[in-house]
Amino acid sequence: MTQSGRPKVINQLSLFFVGTRGSGPILFSQGLRRSILATGLAAGLGCCFTTPASALVPYVYIPEEEELEASALSIAQASAQVLQTGQLEDAASLADLSVRLVPSNPQSWLLLAEAQLRNRDSAAAKEALAQAKLLDADNAGIWFAEASLAMTDDDFAHAEALIRKGLDLDPENANAYFDLGNALFLQGKGEEALTAFQEASARQEDFWPAINNEGLVFYEADQPEAAMERWRQAIAINDQVAEPALALAAALYNQGDQSEATIGMAIRALDRESDYAAEDYQESQLWGEKLRAVTRHLFMDSRLQSALERALALVKLRRLEQDNTTPLPEEDSTLPQRP
């Protein structure tokens, strides 16, 4: 979205900013704003019709703590809404204003960290999380957010430790168990990862990503039947998701089921989520070498070529449009060669 196309998010807050150079803004509520404007207008008119006073005594209203907290809360809520729309810079600016108004609110610092992390500013996100932890070390969400930073830095062992600390505080958090499984799997701890994914799906029965990842672990452990069972369960929960469908199609194809139904399942998966046409993306989603190998075999089928070409073209276009990204590696940009 262009700059001119952004919503004027500041206007949503109904704030009035005044101040002198170097003093910073002072925020007033809407009712107080009307009062100040009315007083100022009356004083201005009075200057025109009365004898000028010998001296003017300046008056600056200092908001009460409750007013500052209310304003900070409104700004934080606006920041969260803007963050959901993908306007990351605006969200970070609003969150920063919120913590400046009330620096003692750990939730505002946590929101600022999330906005900065999504804005690819890891250093600033770490500082915000450190402030949040100083204010509320027993907040499990802070530990989980810090683990997300560690995962971004590929420090999976540290992420594991942080998630476990958060789970000590919030032991029923299904998403945290899912993240723990990812951190363990990326350390090569397949059995522990499987346990973590199972803990996640046990706490949230419709948590199809956790069930899907159970299948990923089983497939690399040479248990294809168990893996396919998990992928079928994931599809039963949500039949519009691409990952378990493509994985199931590849596993079936490798077992000799090369029917039109299997090919159709793969085509629909690529149409729904074209990123899975690129092997580097599969690997980023925890697809192991065994699953990627059978998927390469599947992609050599001539009936898939049109869908595969279309998907790879979309992947290239999307990557070229993104900032700080690299195009597909040469070996991934061409279709697999049929024997």
Q: How far is residue 160 from each of residues 118, 143, 148, measured CA to CA in Å?
A: 21, 11, 10
- Which of 261, 339, 262, 265 is closest to 300 using CA atoms? 339
**Is residue 155 one of the residues assigned to a domain?**
yes
- Identify the domain boundary among 182, 204, 226: 204
* Cα 201 to Cα 209: distance, rounded to the nearest angstrom: 9
- Which of 318, 307, 329, 331 is closest to 246 using CA atoms? 307
Q: What angle do CA 152, 311, 247 make, to 5 degrees?
A: 70
Residue-level pLDDT at 201: 97
Residue-level pLDDT at 14: 35
Could you please report the per-residue DSSP string of 153-219?
TT-HHHHHHHHHHHHHH-TT-HHHHHHHHHHHHTTT-HHHHHHHHHHHHHH-TT-HHHHHHHHHHHH
Structure-derived torsion over alpha carbons of residues 167, 172, 177, 179, reported in degrees to the nearest 10: -80
Residue-level pLDDT at 62: 67
Q: Is 132 helix (H, G, I), strand (E, B) or coil?
A: helix
- Identify the domain boundary among 158, 175, 204: 204
Q: How far is CA 57 from the centre of its chain?
A: 51
Higher pLDDT residue, 226 or 133?
226
Higher pLDDT residue, 32 or 98?
98
> In percent, how much of the chain has pLDDT > 70?
76
Question: Of 4-18, 166-180, 238-252, which gets the smallest average pLDDT?
Answer: 4-18
Q: Exposed/middle/buried for 21, CB within 10 Å: 0-12, 13-18, 19+? A: exposed
For residue 263, give the CATH number of its domain. Answer: 1.25.40.10
Question: Of 92-106, 199-213, 299-313, 321-335, which gets the smallest average pLDDT?
Answer: 321-335
Judged against a pLDDT cut of 90, whether residue 1 lies above it is answered with no
Q: How far is residue 318 from each of residues 106, 248, 313, measured CA to CA in Å?
A: 36, 26, 9
Query: Do 328 and 216 have their domain in common?
Result: yes
Higher pLDDT residue, 42 or 152?
152
What contacts 134, CB < 8 A, 6 or more positions away? none
Question: Of 72-81, 316-325, 327-336, which gets the smallest average pLDDT?
Answer: 327-336
**Is residue 82 one of the residues assigned to a domain?**
yes
Query: Do 193 and 301 have their domain in common?
Result: no
Higher pLDDT residue, 37 or 87?
87
Judged against a pLDDT cut of 80, whether residue 13 lies above it is answered with no
On whether the CB atoms of residues 290 and 282 are closer than 8 A, the answer is no
Residue-level pLDDT at 57: 63
User: What residue type is assigned to position 229 of the chain?
Assistant: E
Q: Residue written as tokens 């991934």? A: 332
Reported confidence tier of residue 20, pLDDT bands at 50, 70, 90: very low
- Which of 87, 86, 107 is closest to 98 using CA atoms? 107
Judged against a pLDDT cut of 60, whether residue 161 lies above it is answered with yes
Higher pLDDT residue, 87 or 60?
87
Query: Do 163 and 112 have their domain in common?
Result: no
Range 21-35 average pLDDT: 40
What contacts 250, CB < 8 A, 6 or more positions away? 266, 291, 294, 295, 297, 298
Query: Do 200 and 238 have their domain in common?
Result: no
pLDDT tens track for 199-225: 999 999 999 999 999 999 999 999 999
Domain that holds residue 280: 206-339
Residue-level pLDDT at 35: 40
pLDDT tens track for 44-76: 434 444 455 556 666 666 667 777 777 777 887
- 0.75 surpassed by pTM: no
Query: Do 239 and 334 have their domain in common?
Result: yes
Judged against a pLDDT cut of 70, whether residue 188 lies above it is answered with yes
**Is residue 213 one of the residues assigned to a domain?**
yes
Higher pLDDT residue, 194 or 32?
194
- The top-scoring range by mean pLDDT among 90-104, 109-123, 204-218 is 204-218
Q: How many domains does the chain have?
A: 3
**Is residue 24 one of the residues assigned to a domain?**
no
Average pLDDT value for the chain: 81
Residue-level pLDDT at 324: 53
Q: Which tokens sit at 78? A: 């606006």
On whether the CB atoms of residues 94 and 79 are closer than 8 A, the answer is yes
Q: Which tokens sit at 56? A: 């003017």
Query: Do 230 and 188 have their domain in common?
Result: no
For residue 74, give the CATH number of its domain. Answer: 1.25.40
pLDDT tens track for 237-296: 999 999 999 999 999 999 999 999 999 999 999 999 999 999 999 999 999 999 999 999
Query: Do 217 and 316 have their domain in common?
Result: yes
* Cα 127 to Cα 156: distance, rounded to the nearest angstrom: 20
